[in-house]
Amino acid sequence: MSGPTPTPPQTLLQIVKSCDNFQLGARTEKVVPWLLSPSPCSAAVGLLRPEIVEQLRKEAQSSPSPSWYFGSDEAGKQWVSFADGIKTPSARSRVMKDLCERWRDTGLWPDEISPRKWRNELYPVYRNPFGPRDFPGENEDAHGDSLNYAFRMERAASGLFGIVTFGVHMTVYEEVEDGSDPSYNIWVPRRAATKQTWPGYLDNSVAGGIEAGLGVFDCVVKESMEEASIPEDVVRRYARPTGSVSYFFQTPRGWLQPEVEYVYELSLPPNSGVQPQPLDGEVESFELLPLKKVVELMRAGLFKYNCAVVIVDFMVRKGIITPDNEPDYQEIVTRLHGRFDYDRWAS
Amino acid sequence: MSGPTPTPPQTLLQIVKSCDNFQLGARTEKVVPWLLSPSPCSAAVGLLRPEIVEQLRKEAQSSPSPSWYFGSDEAGKQWVSFADGIKTPSARSRVMKDLCERWRDTGLWPDEISPRKWRNELYPVYRNPFGPRDFPGENEDAHGDSLNYAFRMERAASGLFGIVTFGVHMTVYEEVEDGSDPSYNIWVPRRAATKQTWPGYLDNSVAGGIEAGLGVFDCVVKESMEEASIPEDVVRRYARPTGSVSYFFQTPRGWLQPEVEYVYELSLPPNSGVQPQPLDGEVESFELLPLKKVVELMRAGLFKYNCAVVIVDFMVRKGIITPDNEPDYQEIVTRLHGRFDYDRWAS
């Protein structure tokens, strides 16, 4: 059977740390903030590694009207931004579209942005990643600079630019009365062996990235059908939001992925007859597993990195992990809700 | 009727911000880390404002064997620590006891540590505030330096030394089926007019600080009886931990209070007959209020600062605040789980 190889059991904190594994300033490679406009006070929307900065420099040098600006101040602080003329959402989105398609077609960073890795999903980029998820609609420039929305870009390039990405994760479970304490059986999918990312790994019951313009709950509804064949009326009736997790992930190749996952749960009533089933080919199969078994598989490294933290969050919320039974409780809880050192991105 | 004066309605983010209102480095007054031992690499356990550093200097100068060490390196980084000879938990606790009692009796900072403000509760101080809540028992030095526990000190002085303090907050509520969505009635106490802090303000159903050596759930059990007359068997049966909130509060007088509150909830079954009632005089009265009313009172500034954030956390967890209905959702969620910039305390 294809899929990941088990590792020696990890603690819950180790699981969280392998997902929240990047800290700004605590490494040797110098990353440069990506700002919206040439002013150093402009909003930081991403973090660029040296090889990306170098490539953008090349592109700017070979163009008669460069799309990029390279700033630095007396203190040696550097930044990269869109060039002065690129100041509307649609202009920024166009620059990113041309750039990403060119990088895809010329084979730069093929592990990230090759035709095979291309997602064909446009992710929104916000001035403030913790602010409103607004969207101007089809006419991107209709609201000028009054929205938090700044532009959109191809999902596959998000790690190359270190932008904050947003997704949903929903745990679908059945509650079992087991003496005085409730226990939980959780629907666990295995990712298809053909997935571009994390093939064969275990996943959260329903999960997906939120494309520009889609509401968060609408995304849950959409993914529930596409990935798990759960009918819309069941989701609308039983699903509920319970918070979010956020963590700063650096991929094995060094790309930066600060992520926010809005967390939902769907408690299926006993004998509901609803069973998650694969639909769009992204998932190979679903299995209903006792939480205890899920934790075992998680500790053996068989879950996709960020699904494990969603399950840890579930266990905190349900009182399975407690301040009295888990020595790393407070570090786990705070690391599930990281701010990405965001105040330091541009300063 | 005595008590706080209502303010114009605040947003939920404003409520969170008035509790999580301090950021290291974003202010003019320079705070100095308080380390355990003279080495600059030793664990940071607190943050000292200039007037405290000055007072400690005076005390060290007038003593033949000073308890304090004042360090600085070439880069201008300063720190204060226990002096070289003070290296066991019991020695540190003794220094803090003498110091706090002297400050109490001589009337330094009477708003913090006068006889009227004295709490007579010993709070634990840990090497790593996010680490294990271990405790050596009566013989403080039994484990040498192998525990996370470092020493204990009078609660009233915690703000003067900027140590991380730990408490419990439990929301006691009744769930009401109201059509398809559940709604909640919450037991809300009013603090006694004679309380040393926040007299007359509304509070969380059960709340209290955790003294050195007390288990977290044991503290919930104890406070439930002392503050709300809820019998132990009811708490043990129905209460459950649901996470924690942590925030960096600066008092109106400028004192630093980074706090961790372990969050519990107790859902009273319909017709349980259990009703929270004042017992030890800390609470004036209890009222069962619909969540909607609670939010209104919260927005009018009538709740103690940190009780409001516990209710905001409740609303996130119960899906009342959602990523789609609250523009500040992600900032609220992350600010409920702050790390206090802890990695910067000593660096």
Per-residue pLDDT, averaged over B234-241, amounts to: 96
Task: List the single range of A58-62, A141-145, A180-184 with lowest mean pLDDT.
Answer: A180-184
- pLDDT > 90? residue A147: yes
Using a CB–CB cutoff of 8 Å, tell me whether B132 touches chain A.
Answer: yes
* CA-derived radius of gyration, chain A: 21
Instruction: Collapse the DSSP code of A228 into the 3-class scheme (helix H, G, I; strand E, B; otherwise coil) and give the result.
Output: helix
Task: Using an 8 Å CB-CB cutoff, list chain B residues near A13.
Answer: none
- Which tokens in the block code for residue B150? 């470092």
* Alpha carbon distance A70, A307 (integer Å): 37
Chain A: give the shortest CA distance to residue B61, in Å.
Answer: 38
The reply to whether B182 and B291 lie within a common domain is: yes
The reply to whether A44 and A146 lie within a common domain is: yes
Task: Please give the pLDDT value at position A2.
Answer: 64
Instruction: Name the one residue in this structure whose structure tokens are 């630095």.
Output: A72
CATH number at residue A143: 3.30.750.160
Instruction: Name the one residue in this structure whose structure tokens are 């408490």.
Output: B167
pLDDT band at A49 (very low <50, low <70, confident <90, very high): very high
pLDDT band at A27 (very low <50, low <70, confident <90, very high): low
* Alpha carbon distance A185, A230 (integer Å): 17
- Which tokens in the block code for residue A315? 């266990």
Domain that holds residue A115: 32-161
- pLDDT > 70? residue B197: yes
The reply to whether A222 and A322 lie within a common domain is: yes
* CA-derived radius of gyration, chain B: 21
Chain B: give the shortest CA distance to residue A308, in Å.
Answer: 17
Of A35-49, A188-202, B23-37, B135-149, highest mean pLDDT? A35-49
How many other CB atoms are found less than 10 A from the CB of residue A73?
Answer: 9
Mean per-residue pLDDT over chain A, rounded:
94
* Alpha carbon distance A205, A227 (integer Å): 9
Task: Tell me whether residue A185 is in a domain.
Answer: yes
The reply to whether B325 and B249 lie within a common domain is: yes
Task: Using an 8 Å CB-CB cutoff, list chain A residues near B330.
Answer: 129-131, 244, 246, 260
How many other CB atoms are found less than 10 A from the CB of residue B142?
Answer: 12
Task: Tell me whether residue B227 is in a domain.
Answer: yes
- Decide if A79 contacts A52 (C-beta within 8 A): no
- CA triple B338-B339-B345, angle to 5 deg: 135
Residues paired with residue A185 on neighbouring β-strands, in sequence order: A174, A290
Task: Please give the pLDDT value at position B138.
Answer: 86
pLDDT band at A114 (very low <50, low <70, confident <90, very high): very high
Q: Is B133 within 8 Å of A23 when comparing Cβ atoms?
A: no
ipTM given for this complex? 0.96
The reply to whether A177 and A265 lie within a common domain is: yes
Provide the percentage of residues in chain A whose pLDDT is more than 90. 87
Strand A149-154 and strand A122-126: pairing?
antiparallel
Task: Tell me whether residue B5 is in a domain.
Answer: no
The reply to whether A190 and A254 lie within a common domain is: yes
Task: Tell me whether residue B205 is in a domain.
Answer: yes
Using a CB–CB cutoff of 8 Å, tell me whether B175 touches chain A.
Answer: no
The reply to whether B138 and B177 lie within a common domain is: no
- Decide if B192 contacts B286 (C-beta within 8 A): no
Task: Please give the pLDDT value at position B26.
Answer: 77
The reply to whether B131 and B228 lie within a common domain is: no
| Contacts for A322 with CB less than 8 Å, ≥ 6 apart | A329, B216, B217, B241
Provide the percentage of residues in chain B whose pLDDT is more than 90. 87
* Alpha carbon distance A13, A10 (integer Å): 8
Last residue of a domain, one of B160, B189, B220: B160
Task: Tell me whether residue A1 is in a domain.
Answer: no
Per-residue pLDDT, averaged over A265-273, amounts to: 90
Per-residue pLDDT, averaged over A166-192, amounts to: 91
Closest residue on chain A to B219 (Cα): A324
Task: Please give the pLDDT value at position A280.
Answer: 84
The reply to whether A177 and A228 lie within a common domain is: yes
- pLDDT > 90? residue B80: yes
Task: Tell me whether residue B192 is in a domain.
Answer: yes
- pLDDT > 70? residue A39: yes
The reply to whether B38 and B67 lie within a common domain is: yes
Task: Tell me whether residue A319 is in a domain.
Answer: yes
Per-residue pLDDT, averaged over A305-313, amounts to: 96
Task: Please give the pLDDT value at position A143.
Answer: 87
How many other CB atoms are found less than 10 A from the CB of residue B253?
Answer: 9
DSSP state of B62: T
Task: Please give the pLDDT value at position B2.
Answer: 64
- pLDDT > 80? residue A28: no
Burial of A179 (0-12, 13-18, 19+ CB in 10 A): exposed
- pLDDT > 90? residue B145: no
The reply to whether B269 and B143 lie within a common domain is: no
A-proximal residues of B, 7-66, CB under 8 Å: 23
Interface test with B, best of A330, A336, A341 (most B CBs within 10 A): A330
Last residue of a domain, one of A161, A185, A201: A161
**Tens digit of each residue's pLDDT (9 = 90 or more) over B174-183:** 998 876 678 9
Q: Is A323 within 8 Å of B262 when comparing Cβ atoms?
A: yes
* Alpha carbon distance B7, B171 (integer Å): 24
Continuous segment of H or E residues that includes residue B327: none
Last residue of a domain, one of B160, B181, B215: B160
- pLDDT > 80? residue B221: yes
Smallest CA-to-CA distance from A311 within A261, A248, A238, A268 is with A261
- CA triple B38-B133-A293, angle to 5 deg: 130
The reply to whether A234 and A332 lie within a common domain is: yes
pLDDT band at A272 (very low <50, low <70, confident <90, very high): confident
Closest residue on chain A to B317 (Cα): A242
Residues paired with residue B262 on neighbouring β-strands, in sequence order: B168, B244
Task: Tell me whether residue A201 is in a domain.
Answer: yes
Task: Please give the pLDDT value at position B177.
Answer: 80
* Alpha carbon distance A173, A221 (integer Å): 16
CATH number at residue A310: 3.90.79.10
Helix ranges (DSSP H) in chain A:
12-19, 50-61, 89-106, 110-113, 158-161, 216-228, 232-238, 291-299, 305-317, 329-335
Q: Give how many domains chain A has, as a whole number.
A: 2
Per-residue pLDDT, averaged over A161-166, amounts to: 98
**Tens digit of each residue's pLDDT (9 = 90 or more) over B83-127:** 999 999 999 999 999 999 999 999 999 999 999 999 999 999 999
- pLDDT > 90? residue A57: yes
Mean per-residue pLDDT over chain B, rounded:
94
